[in-house]
Amino acid sequence: WYQHSSSSSREAGDEWTFSNVVERCMCSMQNGTQMTKLKGKKNGLVRFFYLDDHKSCIRWRPSKKHDKAKITIDSIHEVCEGKKSEIFRRYADNRFDPNCCFSIYYGERVKSLDLVSTNAEEARTWITGLKYLMAGISDEDSLLTWLQQTFSEADKNGDGTLSIGEVHQLLHKLNVNLAKQKVRQMFQEADTDEIQGSLGFEEFCSFYKMISTRRDLYLIMISYSNQKEVLDLQDLARFLENEQKMRGLSREHLVDIVAKFEPCPENLQRMVIGIDGFTNYMRSPAGDIFNPEHNQVNQDMTQPLCNYFIATSHNTYLTGDQLLSQSRVEMYAYVLQAGCRCVEVDCWDGPDGEPIIHHGYTLTSKILFKDVIETINKYAFTKSQYPVILSIENHCSVPQQKKMAEYLKEVLQDKLDLSSVNAHECKKLPSPEILKGKILVKGKKLPANLDPEVEEGDVSDEDSGDEGEDEDDDQNSQVNKTLNHRYLDRQFYLLMLLERSVTLVRYIVSLRRRKTMRLSRALSDLVKYTKSVRVHDIETQAFANSWQVSSLDETVMNQILQLQPRELVRFNQRQLIRVYPSNYRVDSSNFNPQAYWNAGCHMVAMNYQTEGRMLELNQAKFSSNGNCGYILKPKCMCKDAINPMMEDPLPGHGKTQLVLKIISGQQLPKPKDSVFGDRGEIIDPFVEVEIIGLPVDCSKQQTRVVNDNGFNPMWEETLVFNIRMPQISLVRFQVWDHDHIGQDFIGQRTVAFTSMMPGYRHVYLEGMAESSIFVHVAIHDIPEKVTKSHPLIPPLSPARVRRTLLAPAIPRPSTPMRTKTRSRSCPRKQTTSPQSPMVNCKPAFHWQTQGAQNYGSYSNQVRPILNGLCLSDSTSSSSDSSTDSLEFVPSCLPAGAEQCEGTLQREMKVLFDQKMREIRCKSPSSFSTVQQDF
């Protein structure tokens, strides 16, 4: 970056250092620069761009988006100098100096902000400054950054402080429902400087610390410290072993935890961890529900390709629907960086002999084939080194096919060279490990018996990896008849005429007319292990040669799943298969991929340009192996003839029981795009947990509703699931607002079952870095003989250490009553659609501990502590004690305690507040003690 400083500046003297360059860049960017923002083919828009005070985002004005007109620094992927983006290439003239041009690629969908400065010096300043900021942002700064942004946005009058009124507005925005008297008390405690009646930033941090101290974590901590306010190394080891199921803990590892997360100097000196440090640790990746080891490749990558699920994109080039959306070369960069390993390239004859990519006869824009290949070459291995598959749908003439082959070899070079792959293993597909750094071309191939000297030949118009395959009339297989009937069906044409466009109908008719095509030898020779073939017979095909790929649309695949599920699993053990969305999905919607994963289908093609539930499932699936784009199938799918549609797909195997205790929530926002935004009512959240896997395993359960609390709601409920095949199951956590106006969905996080960590864990909602729910995870294997002879019941904690969250005084209503009551908290519309599996909705399962059956005797053994958590008098510090989970026990609360706060609860809150004041007095006053727990 030093090179971006001007030569005159560098010659000024040795005192000019890199820090001077950065400081100058930051100052210039914060002062702001007038630049031209390019958009489409119109003249650019002149806007004033500047870096905000906290150096966390770029803003510009004027804008119709007002305060939302910004790009956060941590969303920036790349800053490119010169005229390299697609939008710059649209400007054929040379009106812009390349030295004044640069592009910022940002966001999940990799959008580009293309800017032209008035001089080259300004452009270099922004490029240097942005690259520095991109390198300097760390996870440890996230809370500080959020607090700075929150403080700035809450400061309505811009005086650098927050009044009591601004604090009340902020708390409402944060979904904090506290009595005004309580807020004023904490406000006054935090207001310690000479200027009374307002909070500066440091005072605001202290105020935030007061409202964010976690009761649930505090009570877990003191249960392992024998009522002390800190955990020593022995206490910490016992917690990690008993609850988090960690083994082989060394003293050095425990010391590292304290040193990294404990902010109090006194505690560091004593080598103990207090509530601040314990909260920091539990809120770190070490306390996340996702196994941190799964952020890297952790599966065997040496098996044949047909033993893996492969992340696959459909209509990769499109930014939206199939009729009117744009084709953008940046979409290839986006999907490859998202972990996709199979991209689709629809090739057509273009002007001037240059092949182009677009979507059939629709109105989508066109991009150059060469630009796409260059983009793929640049981004193919930025996130994963495992092979990329180019699924080519070839509609080009032979001359332009030769041009395609020329570009592929010229740009990709040794990435296409497969000579190092052992030819003696031709009966099996090579492994992802052997094919590291390679790109496979999937497409048609000339017949083997054709004269090798011939430069081109005829091939039947077989399946090429996308919709619109033609099938010969003389094929009599179930699959081919189904496809053939689809194109002959007059109702299909009528539907297209009425609801879509004439251009789409012309496209389909043209596909029907084509029988054979001419194929270039140069392009055919690039196809090695992924030859496109038609499915003839799923029972016998692929025994002779596994170097082939078949593609079928979801309609046909659904029929096969119903008629021949076991045979489909067998077929997928021998050769690759690709499933793509139906032609009816002109809106680029996605199907449910789980149904096809259940049968072992390798490449389940998703519209990565369409966000939503189905793409979230795909993301969760492939996150469990470092997001490398390959997931190893379970052994039974690679060898056994399982039937995924049966209630007992694996006879002789037991079940796995998942016991989830939904404890609390942290900093849950209002529903996105709610009608009244931040001014709306405080949310009434509840949690829904869904198992997505084999049909027999699919189910949903949910918690009760907590009224008027999105900041720190407490549910304290247990959900139990019994799962036949957890190896392919996903667990989806969703948070909803019961008292909604408009959209009531708040957020979700989906995790592969195999990636879930046991013990006390935080489930962070996707795209909401600080919003989470706090849960306890317990997983138990239930042998088949136990399943048959005994009903499944949740496990019980060892009797030596008991804890509970106070439950209602009277026994809970029976299941039918609970179901009826809770139905009011369900999303308003729950219909079965092709996008979601059939589920068996069950109410939350509440259970009791041993010893809780005798209410009177139990009340003598348990003494309540803060917030209703109870410790038995037998609490021990011995290493074999355990608090395996928070458990429900009856208590003698008055009727209606579930809705209103009783005297006992108020007394415990007073005790808790007193304890918190004592803790704050002993904690350091510096910002480093601020909790990361909203």
Which CATH code is given to the segment(s) 305-468+515-638? 3.20.20.190
* Domain 18-137 matches domain 215-286 at the CATH topology level: no
Q: Measure the CA dihedral 747/753/756/762, to 10°.
A: 20
- 451 Cβ contact partners less than 8 Å away, ≥ 6 residues apart: none
Q: Would you call 591 helix, strand, or coil by DSSP?
A: coil
Please give the Cα distance from 933 to 931 (Å, whole number): 6
Whether 358 is catalytic: yes
Classify strands 862-864 and 714-723 as parallel, antiparallel or unpaired.
unpaired
* Marked catalytic residue, from 77, 314, 602, 738: 314
Q: Taking all residues of the chain, what is their mean pLDDT, rounded to a whole number?
A: 77
Extract the runs of DSSP E, i.e. beta strands, from 333-451.
342-348, 356-357, 367-368, 388-394, 439-442
State residue 862 phi and psi, 5-degree precision. Answer: -105, 130
Residue 462 has pLDDT above 70, yes or no: no
What are the sequence ranges of the domains in the chain?
18-137, 142-212, 215-286, 305-468+515-638, 655-782
Q: Is the pTM for the entire model greater than 0.85? A: no
Rounded distance between C-alpha atoms, residue 187 and residue 189, angstroms: 5
pLDDT above 70: residue 339? yes
Q: Is the pLDDT of residue 740 over 80?
A: no
Contact assessment for residue 151 and residue 203, using Cβ atoms and an 8 Å cutoff: no
Half-sphere exposure of 395 (CA within 13 A, CB side): 23
Q: Most confidently modeled of 290-304, 667-681, 731-745?
A: 290-304
Per CATH, is 18-137 categorized as 2.30.29.30?
yes
Short-list 465, 411, 459, CA closest to 439? 411
**Is pLDDT at 929 greater than 50 in this prediction?**
no
Confidence of residue 87 (pLDDT cuts 50, 70, 90): confident
**Annotated catalytic residue: which of 4, 77, 294, 358?**
358
Distance, CA of 60 to CA of 45 (rounded, Å): 11
Is the distance from CB of 725 to CB of 742 less than 8 angstroms?
no
Nearest in space to 123 (alpha carbons), one of 29, 21, 12: 29
The Cβ of residue 319 has, within 10 Å, a number of other Cβ atoms equal to 19
What is the pLDDT, as a whole number, of residue 25? 85
- Confidence (pLDDT) at 840: 38
The pair of three-digit structure tokens given for residue 218, joined into one six-digit string? 């505090």
Confidence at residue 74, expressed as pLDDT on a 0 to 100 scale: 83
Q: At the topology level of CATH, where does 215-286 sit? A: Recoverin; domain 1 (1.10.238)
Partner residues linked to 611 by β-bridges: none
The yes-or-no answer on residue 314 being catalytic is yes
Instruction: Please tell me the distance from the alpha carbon of residue 72 to that of residue 82, in angstroms, as a whole number.
Output: 22
Which of 8-12, 578-582, 694-698, 859-863 is predicted with the least confidence, judged by mean pLDDT? 859-863
**In the CATH scheme, what architecture does the domain 142-212 have?**
Orthogonal Bundle (1.10)
Instruction: Report phi then psi at 99, rounded to 5.
Output: -70, -15
- The pLDDT of residue 143 is above 50: yes
pLDDT in tens, 865-915: 333 333 333 333 333 333 333 333 333 333 333 334 444 445 555 555 666
Task: For residue 211, give Cα distances in angstroms to 146, 147, 178, 189.
Answer: 16, 14, 9, 12
Q: What is the mean pLDDT of residues 695-711?
A: 93
CATH superfamily of 655-782: C2 domain (2.60.40.150)
Q: Where are the beta strands (DSSP E) in 53-196?
A: 57-61, 70-72, 76-81, 101-106, 111-116
